[in-house]
Amino acid sequence: MSQRIIIHIDLDYFYAQCEETANPSIRYKPVVVCVYSARTEESGVVSTSNYEARKFGVRAGIPIVRAKKLLESTSAVFLPMNRPLYESVSQRIMALIQSYGDSFEKSGVDEAYLDISEGSRGNYDSAETIASKLKQAILSEAHITCSIGIAPNKLLAKIASDYVKPDGLTVVKPKQVQDFLKGPVNRIPGVGTKIEERLKQLNVRTVDELARLNPIILNEVFGKSLGGYLFRAARGEDNEPVRDRILPTQLSRISTLKRNTSDFRIIRPVLRDLTQSVVESLKGKELSCKSVSIIGILSDLSIHTRSATLDSATTDSRLIIEVAERLMQQFLESRSQANLRRVGVKLSGLSKLSGQTNIKAFFSTS
Task: Name which position in 291, 315, 317, 329 contacts DNA (CB under 7 A).
Answer: 291
Shortest Å distance, C-beta 218 to DNA: 12
Q: Does 226 bind DNA (CB under 7 A)?
A: yes
Query: What does the alpha-carbon distance between residue 342 and residue 295 come to, in Å, rounded to a whole number?
Result: 8
Element (H, E) at 297: strand 287-298
| Residues 170-189 contacting DNA, CB under 7 A | 189
Q: Kindly provide the b/e burial profile for residues 147-162, where b requires at least 16 CB atoms within 10 angstroms of the residue's own CB.
A: bbbbbbbbbbbbbbbb
Based on CB atoms, which residue is closest to DNA, 137 or 308?
308
Q: Does 301 bind DNA (CB under 7 A)?
A: yes
Task: Name which position in 104, 113, 229, 231 contacts DNA (CB under 7 A).
Answer: 229
Query: What does the alpha-carbon distance between residue 337 and residue 26 come to, in Å, rounded to a whole number?
Result: 47
Going residue by residue from 255 to 284, which x/- string records binding to DNA, judged by CB under 7 A? xx----------------------------
**Applying CB under 7 A, which part among 37-45, 113-121, 135-143, 316-324 lies near DNA?**
37-45
Element (H, E) at 166: none
Task: Kindly name the residue from 111, 141, 220, 333 that is annotated as catalytic.
Answer: 111
Q: Nearest CA to 305 among 244, 358, 254, 361?
A: 254
Q: Does 314 bind DNA (CB under 7 A)?
A: no
**Applying CB under 7 A, which part among 34-42, 129-137, 317-325, 356-364 lies near DNA?**
34-42
Q: Does 308 bind DNA (CB under 7 A)?
A: yes
* Burial class, 234, CB count within 10 angstroms (exposed 0-12 / middle 13-18 / buried 19+): buried
**Applying CB under 7 A, which part among 62-70, 118-126, 131-139, 315-323 lies near DNA?**
62-70
Half-sphere exposure of 102 (CA within 13 A, CB side): 14
| Residues 118-177 contacting DNA, CB under 7 A | none
Based on CB atoms, which residue is closest to DNA, 117 or 275?
275
Task: Name which position in 253, 288, 325, 340 contacts DNA (CB under 7 A).
Answer: 253
Based on CB atoms, which residue is closest to DNA, 4 or 165?
165
Q: Is 220 a catalytic residue?
A: no
Phi, psi of 217 (to 5 degrees): -65, -40
Q: Nearest CA to 93 among 18, 166, 164?
A: 18
Q: Nearest CA to 343 among 237, 252, 247, 270?
A: 270
Which ranges of the chain does DSSP label H, i.e. alpha helix? 14-22, 51-54, 64-70, 83-98, 117-120, 124-142, 154-163, 177-180, 193-201, 207-211, 215-233, 264-284, 317-334, 355-365
Query: What does the alpha-carbon distance between residue 114 and residue 99 come to, in Å, rounded to a whole number?
Result: 10
Interface residues toward DNA, by CB under 7 A: 14, 35, 37-40, 43-45, 47-48, 60-61, 63, 65-66, 69, 108, 110-111, 189-195, 222-223, 225-226, 229, 245, 248-256, 290-291, 293, 301, 303-309, 341-342, 346, 348-349
Residues assigned a catalytic role: 111
